[in-house]
Amino acid sequence: MPVAYGDESFREHPEHGFYVLTGVVFEPSTLADACEALLALRGKHRKLHWYDMGPVEQLRIVKKLADLDGMHVVVIGSPVPVQKQERARAKCLTSLVVELHGFGVDSLLLEARSANLNRRDVRTVTAARQSLLPTRARFHVDHCSGAVEPLLWAADAIAGICRAARLGRSEYRDMLADHVYDVEIDTGC
């Protein structure tokens, strides 16, 4: 079964806030090529991070992601008022589990945050698996440092690209049109 690699981006705002949670999925046969391509793009940096890249580096990673055989599932939740991002994340993560399961994915590796927030993610995924997936369905979530796993860099880039598109800068999202499946949800925040 394929594994999804996940990361997020969000914008808190009293009326126009949103949360973007990605699950980047590559065919198992292309994982090594995807890792190698991302490592080559990293250069001297410890890891690739969308917001630390300049426009030339961003375009380079978008082109590389467009060339790689991947399907990227993106859940965009709104609204996200100030100090409600964790609630929005839980709603997006629940939807992401359901969407990824529908694509035959049963494992999600998220970029690690604090131990407490990681445990919150695990509880959210467990609840989604038990209440929204078929009986006996398997779905597992784990966390890993972004510096350790290059495929998390792809998830970070997809989240940044979709955030930019939501804010009116869609040229990079347009270049990945065939590789991104996005779902919009109401967070209830």
Partners of residue 185 on adjacent β-strands: 77
Mean pLDDT value of segment 104-133:
97
Average pLDDT, the chain: 95
- Prediction pTM value: 0.95
Contacts of 143 (CB under 8 A, 6+ apart): 109, 110, 111, 112, 113, 118, 121
pLDDT digits (tens, 9 = 90+) for 43-77: 777 899 999 999 999 999 999 999 998 999 999 99
Percent of the chain exceeding pLDDT 90 equals 90
Q: Please check whether residue 96 is in contact with residue 128, taking contact to mean a CB–CB distance below 8 angstroms.
A: no
pLDDT digits (tens, 9 = 90+) for 12-43: 998 899 999 999 999 888 899 999 999 999 87
Would you place residue 1 in the very low, low, confident or very high pLDDT band (cuts 50, 70, 90)? confident
Contacts of 2 (CB under 8 A, 6+ apart): 25, 26, 27, 28, 103, 104, 105
